[in-house]
Each structure stands twice: as structure tokens, then as C-alpha cells.
Amino acid sequence: MNTASSLKSRLTRAQKQIHCLLEQSGETLTAQAIYQRLKDQQQMLGLATVYRSLRSLQIKGLAQARALPNGEWAYGLTSDDSHYLTCLNCGTSVPVEDCPVHSLEEKLGQSSHFQIFYHTLEFFGLCAPCTGRLEAESP
């Protein structure tokens, strides 16, 4: 995408470092995990800088955040799949391959004069192991 690559060239050093890390990791990471991994790679950034840079990347449409059941946020690139079945008990998230709303997104983007960067779709409940465990525990 042309727009994305021209945006990327205008990123600050910290934003580039974080974007690069998200690209390499291929999974969503919390701000704490991003901070820790950069530190492991000898790329020290303050936690406040990590948060601020993530916010900037989100507004540029290059990163997205997802609320985890434990109240933390997981960050990833907007190109990452963002459809999940999430267990409220253990926090496991299973990606969902099917997307029923992509055509809706295109339609809205054309008709609502709103620049849509991404959408998310998430279902909450209990995974099979947790369902089994909770049933075994109840009298």
C-alpha cells in the first residue's frame, strides 16, 4: 500500500522501532511486552514513550489495540487478523478466519465519508477446557 509506506517514512524513531517489532513478532503484544522486548534488543524506550508511540501509530492507522479480559491492551499491526473467540475465564483468544463484515466495511468507507482503518469482531464466552473445568467444579 502506497499510503502506508509514505506514512511509515514520516514516523519518529520510537514509532519505527515499535512498528518494526510488531511486524517481526507476528502476534499482538501488550505495551509492557513491547517495552521488555525492545529492552532485550538493547533499544531502550521509556514505557511512557511506548504508550505515546502506540497511540500515534493507532491514529495513523498503522496499529490497532484490543482489550484483553484482564483489562490490558494488546497491540498489533492493522493488517493482523482481528477476529477472535475470547474466553472470559482463562483469557485465551482463538482467531476466527471467517469475516462477515468486510463488504460492509467497504460500503461504509465509501458512503459515510469516514476513513476506516480496521474493524474488529470479538465473541466472548468460555472455551471448551474452561467449560469442562467449571462444570466439574459445580456440585
Per the annotation, binding residues are 87, 90, 119, 127, 130
Q: Using CB under 5 A, which residues numbered 87 to 126 contact Zn ion?
A: 87, 89-90, 99
| Contact pattern from residue 60 through residue 89 relative to Zn ion, giving x for each residue in contact according to CB under 5 A and a dash for the rest | ---------------------------x-x
Check: CB of residue 108 under 8 Å from CB of residue 116: yes
Nearest approach in angstroms of CB 83 to Zn ion is 6
Nearer to Zn ion, 74 or 130 (CB): 130
Nearer to Zn ion, 39 or 133 (CB): 133
Nearest approach in angstroms of CB 12 to Zn ion is 30
Nearest approach in angstroms of CB 125 to Zn ion is 9
Nearer to Zn ion, 40 or 71 (CB): 71
Residue in the structure block whose three cell numbers are 465519508: 113
- State the Cα torsion 24-7-115-65 to the nearest 10°: 30
Q: Which residues are annotated as a binding site for Fe cation?
A: 119
Using CB under 5 A as the binding criterion, the count of chain residues that bind Zn ion stands at 6
For Zn ion, the binding residue among 20, 45, 74, 130 (CB under 5 A) is 130
- Residues belonging to the chain: 139
- State the Cα torsion 4-6-10-12 to the nearest 10°: 40
**Interface with Zn ion by CB under 5 A: which residues?**
87, 89-90, 99, 127, 130
